[in-house]
Homo-oligomer: A and B are copies of this chain.
Amino acid sequence: MQHKPINTLIVDDHPMVIEGLKTLLGDDDRVAIKTHFVNGTDTLSFLKEDTVDVILLDVNLPDINGVEMVTKILNIRANIGIIGLSTYSEPSIINQMIKNGVKGYLLKNATADELVNAITQVHQGNFYFGSEVQKILADSVTQESRDLPKLTRREKHVLTLIAEGKTTNTIADELFISPLTVETHRRNLMQKLEVSNAASLIKIAVEKQLI
């Protein structure tokens, strides 16, 4: 069964990348490259007039940053599938992009197969992330929940209660121990985690997703 090709838009400020993509995708009749733009502004005004199925979006545009672009594009056309593209990859940026609604993410060393696969899947409303991207994301997750100094069970428990915004007295009540003890735990926690107030304590707790 032969569907009609997926209308695809390339947004990248590097002519080489544009040509490369056109060549890589040119042979495949499942994908049709409609046109391309080299900046965000032109892309957005185009989308107000016309539309496409999928956008291959460079994350480092000269005028508008990738994360914002995603929001703006989806604001104009909610059902366009966006695939992020970048050469290197910072987990936090990828995470933000995903949160804002990209359906796929590829590094620029992606193969033609990967590209077509990504475009097809995203067009069908599914996610597609290149294997390198997945690795990066996985690493960033494990890294977070890793290296917090060895806290005792009790300390962890107290920490979560602190992080829930409970006061020393409340915690003491809840654990049937003296407020003074809770204080001691708190102090030990602060020392172990090298901070000097409950605020930072909570920040850490949340980051290491203890809560």
Q: How far is the CB of A141 from chain B (nearest CB, A)?
A: 6
Does B131 contact A197, Cβ atoms closer than 8 Å? Answer: no
Instruction: Give the oligomeric copy count.
Output: 2
Does A203 contact B206, Cβ atoms closer than 8 Å? Answer: yes
- List residues of A (183-199) whose CB comes within 8 Å of B's CBs: 195, 197-199
A62 at interface by CB-CB < 8 Å: no
Residue of B nearest to A118 (CB): B126
Residue of B nearest to A130 (CB): B126
**Most B CB atoms within 10 A — which of A124, A126, A164?**
A126
A202 at interface by CB-CB < 8 Å: yes
A165 at interface by CB-CB < 8 Å: yes
Partner of A199, one of B101, B134, B162: B162
Chain A positions 50 through 87: 1 when the CB is less than 8 Å from some CB of chain B, otherwise 0: 00000000000000000000000000000000000000
A121 at interface by CB-CB < 8 Å: yes
Instruction: Place the interface of chain A in its size category.
Output: 20 to 34
Does B127 contact A128, Cβ atoms closer than 8 Å? Answer: yes
Given contact pairs A99-B141, A121-B121, A141-B99, A165 touches B200 in the complex (Cβ within 8 A): yes
**Residues on the B chain within 8 Å of A125, using CB:** 131, 134
A97 at interface by CB-CB < 8 Å: no
**Residues on the B chain within 8 Å of A121, using CB:** 121, 126
A163 at interface by CB-CB < 8 Å: yes
Closest 8 CB pairs of A and B: A165-B200, A206-B206, A165-B199, A127-B127, A202-B202, A198-B199, A165-B203, A125-B131
